[in-house]
Structure formats: C-alpha cells, structure tokens
Structure 1
Amino acid sequence: MSASTFHQAIGSLHSIGYVSNSTFHNECGNVSMRLITRGFKLEISPSKREDYCSRNRSCGTIQASLSSYQTPESNPISSSGTNKDSSKKSSEAALILIRHGESLWNEKNLFTGCVDVPLTKRGVEEAIEAGKRISNIPINIIYTSSLIRAQMTAMLAMTQHRRKKVPIVVHNENEQAHAWSQIFSEETKEQCIPVVTAWQLNERMYGELQGLNKQETADKYGKEQVHVWRRSYDIPPPNGESLEMCAERAVAYFKEEIEPQLRAGKNVMIAAHGNSLRSIIMYLDKLTSQEVISLELSTGIPMLYIAKEEKYIRRGSPAAPTEAGVYAYTKNLAKYRQKLDEMLH
C-alpha cells in the first residue's frame, strides 16, 4: 500500500471503537474478551454479570467479532517465525506504552480528567515524534482509551511506522456498525492493524476539579490539599477517582483483555493517559503504592516492555531523546528491524 493511500486512509478513519457509546460505558463496565479461532468474543462473565445486575436495572451479554480486522500475520518477532498455536506461550512479545501528546487543556493548565479534549499543535508533533521512535517495532494490535487525545496520538504515531499498515478502529457497538465496517479484501486485511478503544483506559476522573485552573485551585484550597488530590494513592478529589480506583479498572482490563494478546505472541501498543498508564506500570514493575505516586510520565514519550515467560522487562528510558537512547533492542527486535531494512530498501 502506497504512503499516499495510507495517509488518505488515516484521514477517513472513524474515531470511536467497540465501547465508545457513552451509555454503553456507563452501563457495561465489566467486559471480558477472549480469543477465538478468527477473532474475538466479547461477553460479560457470569460472576461479574451477577454483581453488575445487582447494581443496574438491566444487563445483557454482548458478543461481537473482530474477525474483519484480525490480520492472519504471525508474530513477526517470534523466533520460529510462526504462531501455529495461539494457546502456547510465545517466546517474546513487545508492549509499547504511550501517554498522549499535549492536549488543549494541558496547554491551558486545566484539570482535564475524562473531559474529551483534543491535542494541541505541539501534541500532534509529540505524537508524530513518538511514532518515529517506535517505527521499527512490530505492532499487531492497538488499544487506546475512549478519549480523542489518546486516539489521535495512536493514529498520528502510526503514520510514521515503516510497515505502513493502516490502523482501523473496530466498531462493534451494535450489529449495524459491525456489518457496515467489515473489510472484504483479504489482501487489505493483511495491511490493517485493529484499534480497540476502551473506557477502562481513560484518564482518572477528577470529579469537581475537571475544567478548573490548577493554579487557581491551589490558591483557593491550598497547595498541600491539591497535592493530596493529585498525588496521593487512595484519596480522591471531590466526587472523583483516586489513583487506586483508576488502577482497579485499568489493571483489570489489562489483565483480562491485553495480557492474553501478549501471551499469544501479539505485539501491542497502548495509547492512554498519565494515571491509567501509571496504574499499568505499577502492575508491570511491581511498584508499591508509595513508589507509583512519584512516577512521572512525559507526554508523547513511548516506553517499551518485553513480555517473556510471563514476566515484563522494561527496555526503554522515557527521558531519552532518540530511538537509540530509548530502546535496548532484544535479538528478535533487532532481527525485525533488519528485515524491515531489507524489505524497504
């Protein structure tokens, strides 16, 4: 697929995935996904459904297929070169974490939380730069939050990837959306990467602080109180989420939906937010509640982990300015990059 066709496809992408409907977000918070022969099956597990129904007036089983977007490509960094049995543990898989680029409310120094605010020009540039840094790393599936700043970051980053595969947002919010978004060319499918959006990866909900100026809020309530709201682990802002509450949903989603992909040898990119990613890193690096509150993530700086033998090994430095400084390539990643060089030159 030519670069011009790829960029045209990027411009025509829809911006919402299978959990994008706001009503659906509010009513169906516990969703699980399991890999089936040619796609995914989404359903509310019995144990969670019982708890969910006790707190809501209605519930149901949601089933949807991602087969239209699942590419048949095997794990490109697998030592064997094939992935015949997805139930077997892959020798290695890449996990890329990217905090979205600067948003319009970051620029205005406002509490953003779950308010859906797009990127600034600088944020767009950060996303493109992030894409350059991961342009030699294989990606089979992308997860983003349901918020536009994370989705923009993922899409812009992928414009820089050397494979030039097109990220396609998966639409399974209803039968019609699924039917209308199907791809009927096997060749085209092979050149696509499914993008799954999930509200569980959203930023921490800042409650009554959302939309307030951070400095003015500190002047009103005191710097110490605002620091407690922003940096403590288990104390939420008024009518908002604490980091602990954010971690409960983000890590649960990672374990249920993303980890199975890594174990199957799929290379995953997650574009999300400071607190949802902080929560996932807490799980990956086994940080304590005290260690995680001091963890700072820069906007638009990708972090690389290698999932191997049910362990996560960090291979990237979030402060490094160049690709060479960010990543210490594994042998398989180096082979993949060499393959790209041979294929594209």
Structure 2
Amino acid sequence: MKNVFNFSAGPAMLPYEVMAQAKEEFLNWRDSGCSVMEVSHRGKDFIDVAAQAERDLRDLLNVPDNYHVLFTHGGGRGQFAAVPLNLSSQDQSSLHLVSGSWSEGAVSEAQKYNKPVVVGNVSEKDGKQFVEKPAFDASWSEAAYYHFCPNETVDGIEFTWLPEAGDVPLVADMSSTILSRPLNVSDYGVIYAGAQKNIGPSGLSVVIVREDLVGNARQETPSIFDYSLLAGSDSMYNTPPTFSWYLAGLVFKWLKAQGGLEVIDKRNDEKATLLYTEIDNSDFYQSQVHPANRSRMNVPFQLAQPDLDSVFLKKAEEAGLMALKGHRSVGGMRASIYNAMPVEGVVALVEFMQEFERTHG
C-alpha cells in the first residue's frame, strides 16, 4: 500500500491504530461472526460500546455530571438548526460572533428560527485577518444564547479566548477543534461537533449540553434534534450511525492511550509551529491570517506565484501528500493537521515545500 499523508479538512484521516483495529474486527466483531455494523443498536453488546464511548469522552474532556453527552445525526449544519430550536423562541435574539464561513452559516440558519444579531466579525490587523474580542453590551443580556466557532476550517482562523457573554449561554461549534486541547466544559452551555475531523468518520455529531438547557424545544422541533428526547433515550431514539459511533469510541481510547489531551495539545503545537515557521521564513509562501488567530488545525497558505498552484498540488500528490488544495472559496493551499496527523507528516510537507521552492522559486 502506498504510504501517504492525508491533509484533508474532512472527512479527515483517522489514527492508523484505530483503522488497523477496525480492519481486524470488521468481519468478526467480538467473535460474533458478523460486523459491528450488522448488530442491533439496542443489543447489549452495542449498548456497552456506546456507553463506554461516552465515558471515555467524558474522561477526556472532564465533562461535569450536569451535562448530557448526545451522539446525533445531522453534522454541524444540523446543529445550526437544532440549537435555535432547542434554546430559543421565534421572538428571541441570538448573538453571533462571525469569524469565518461556518459561523456565518450558523447565522443564516438561525434567521429561520429567531432573530440573530451579529456582535463581532473578522477585521484586519497588520494587513492580516484578525478577530477582536467584542466587549459585552448590556443590551445583549436577554438573548437566548451566544454562538461562536473557535476554529474556522475554511478560513484557518482560531482564537482561544472566550467571548464575554454575561449570563447568556455560550454555544460553541467545535467541529474542527474539539479534543485538540483541554477545555473547561463548564464555561459553555452547549458544545457541538461534527465527527469527521477529530472524532471519527462523517455521519455522527456529538453534542454536550447543560441540563438546564434541555427540555425547552419548540413543538415543531424534529424529534431527532430534540435534546430532551435524545438525552432520555441515551441517544437511541432512532437508529444511530452505529459504525461511526463505534469508530469514535476507538478514537477516544486512542487519545487516552496517547496520554490524554495535554499530550495531544503539545503535539498539535509542535506540528503547527513547524508549518508556520516554514511559511514565515519564506517569501515564496504566505499566510493571510494574523499570527494571533492562526489555526493549529487548518493552515491555509498561498504561493507568491499563484500560477504554480496546480504544479504544487500535482507534485505534492506524487510525493504522497494528499488533499492540499484550498477551499474553493479561498483558493491556494490548505493543510489540515488534526490529531491523527503525525508529526512525521508535517515534516514531510515542510521538506516538500522547501524542495519545491528551491526548484520553482
């Protein structure tokens, strides 16, 4: 098999050890003679898998007891609708910090269900994209929730500070940054994440929601998005994406075996530092994001000679460096270096960038 490093933004690469175990178990899970995809989600064996996955996720994030952990359908975009339907009425406002494409998408969806108010946006500092922390305004205090996305996959913008929200529940779209570093779950009312970046394959979403925010869903809320129904049925209200849930459980065990999120955090710092150092030390490569807001998970960069983009991508693929094309709305290149990307993959990319600049610069 060809040895490659997959820099896809999502669905993204999974840890090799996880994939190897899934391959080993694929046709004969737990000596049952069938695959985990073929067993009932209500059977004892799969319920054990689901419960263990939740325990491991709770351990990794130190999730307090007064939070529900839900495994759901619909991806991040599904939660763009589920959050306002569960947390707000049609006449209420929701606050939105817009730092890129995904937080902007949350505003567009919220317009169908409440009255969204944009309280912050991307600005410019030193000629780079920058996100300034908005000061809390007392007029915001009646809002149903405050939504933000701490890491923007398309734009490569990340910030680690928390918005000032007063008593308004914070809602974070952590699809592309969850499990990349430790966090204090108690700071949030809702955390949600599509699985296909740092958790597992696509088709699964995780929602961590504070108990007092459950039970207020509107009558028109689809049952599969009703946090109360999901919590009351242990996320088994209808058939869940069982294979994705099983793989997510393997990823959680892998993270714990690595030493937990403190170790993963340091490794992610190392990878991002390697790549950004190469970009900053070269006139051939450029980053349009201010250093204060550079994502550790998604690193967009541009060539000083854009006419070489297609050559760069072709040569990179030949070298086993896959999926480096930037998002269609941004262009250029993008290296997504989630938890599963080993340091060796980033080293290989940096060495390729150096050689490409030497031969084409």
- Name the TM-score, length of structure 1 as normaliser: 0.26
- Name the TM-score, length of structure 2 as normaliser: 0.25
More strand by share: 2
